[in-house]
Amino acid sequence: MPFFLTFALQFSHMIHAYVFPGQGSQYPGMGKTHYDNNAFAKRIFDQANEILGFRISDLMFHGSAEDLRQTDVTQPAIFLHSVIAFKCIENPTPHMVAGHSLGEFSALSVNSTLSFEDALRLVSIRAKAMQKACLSVPSTMAAVLGLEDATAEDICRSIQEESGEVVVPANYNCPGQLVISGTVKGIEIACDRMKAAGAKRALVLPVGGAFHSPLMAPARDELALAIQQTDFHRGVCPVYQNVVAKGVTDPDEIRQNLVDQLTGPVRWTQSILSMIADGAEQFTEVGPGKVLQGLISKIQKGTAVDGVE
C-alpha cells in the first residue's frame, strides 16, 4: 500500500475518496438551496461574485440552461457548487480526491493545494481562455459508445495521418464510453469510421470546441502563465490527476499536470481504477448531478458510491 495511505488508516477504518464533476453537470437553480439555508455558503457566493466581477450567483439561481452553457459561466458555476457542497459536509475525511476535467480544480481546493480564491481565479482564466480557443478553429467533440478504446485510438491515429485533421481521444469515461475531440471535419470522418468499426453510437456533442486536444494549445499557454504566478501547497491528501491517472502530492507536478490537462486526455477510467488499487473503498461525488456516480459504477461494478449535492 502506498506510503501516504498508511496515515489514513490510523484515523479511519475506511479509505474515502471524494470526486468532483466537470462541465456538463450544470443545471438551472444549482446551488440555491445552499445559499438559502447556509450563512457560510451565502458568504462564499458573495465572495465569488466579487472575485469574478459579475453576479454568477444570479446566473446559477435564475439563469436558463443556455445561460449556464457558456464555458466562462459553466466552469466557475460547477466549481462553486462543488466546493460549497463539500464545505457543508459534516467532518469530511478525504483520503484521496479527483476531479473530472474542470473538477480537478475543485479537488485541489478541498484538499488545500489551492486556496478557494486562487482556485476560482484559475478556473475563470481557464474558462475564458478555452472559450477564446474554441473560436479560433471550427472544432467539436463526439461520444463513442460500445467500442474498445484501442480500436478508437487506432482510428483517430489513422485519420490524422491520412488527412492532417486533428482527432484524438479526449475523455476515457468508462469502459465502452470514450469521447473524442478535434476539428469538425476530423470528428465527422471519425464518427463514420467508428460506426463502421462496430461502435453502437458515435454522436457529435453540442459543444463549441475541442476540449482536451491540441487545439486547446493557446488556452494551455495562457493557463500555464497564470499557474506559474499562483501559490500551490502540499495538500492534505493525494489528488489523482487526469493526465497521469495516479495520486500526486508534489506541488510542482500538480502544476504541470494541470497545464497538460488542457491538451491531454481525461483518463477517468484509469484514475478510478488507480484509486481502487490504492485502497479506495467508498467514493462520494460532490457537486451538481450524478454523472460520476454512474461512471464509477460502470468502471468497477459493486463499488460503494454515493453523492452530495
Cβ count near 239 (within 10 Å): 26
E strand or H helix that includes residue 177: strand 177-183
- Per-residue pLDDT, averaged over 264-279, amounts to 97
Please indicate whether residue 108 or residue 11 has the higher confidence score (pLDDT).
Answer: 108
Which part of the chain has CATH 3.30.70.250?
138-204
Does domain 138-204 correspond to CATH entry 3.40.1110.10?
no
User: Are 187 and 142 in contact, with CB atoms under 8 Å apart?
Assistant: yes
182: left (phi over 0), alpha (psi -120 to 50) or beta: left
pLDDT for res 13: 65
- Per-residue pLDDT, averaged over 266-278, amounts to 98
What are 137-196's pLDDT values in tens digits? 889 999 999 999 999 999 999 999 999 999 999 999 999 999 999 999 999 999 999 999
Statement: residue 4 has pLDDT above 90 = no
Cβ count near 161 (within 10 Å): 8
Distance CA 133, CA 207 (A): 13
Statement: residue 8 has pLDDT above 80 = no
pLDDT for res 70: 87
Task: Identify residue 3 by its one-letter amino acid code.
Answer: F
Distance CA 34, CA 19 (A): 19
Residue 17 C-alpha cell reads as 475518496
What are 152-165's pLDDT values in tens digits? 999 999 999 999 99
Which part of the chain has CATH 3.40.366.10?
3-135+214-308
Q: With cut-offs at 50, 70 and 90, classify the pLDDT of residue 7.
A: very low
Q: With cut-offs at 50, 70 and 90, classify the pLDDT of residue 207.
A: confident
CATH of 3-135+214-308, one of 3.40.366.10, 3.40.50.720, 3.40.50.410, 3.40.640.10: 3.40.366.10
Beta bridge partners of 141: 181
- Report the predicted TM-score, pTM, of the whole model to 2 decimal places: 0.93
Give the list of residues 6+ apart from residue 234 with CB closer than 8 angstroms, or none. Answer: 113, 249, 250, 251
Distance CA 224, CA 109 (A): 18
Active site residues: 101, 212
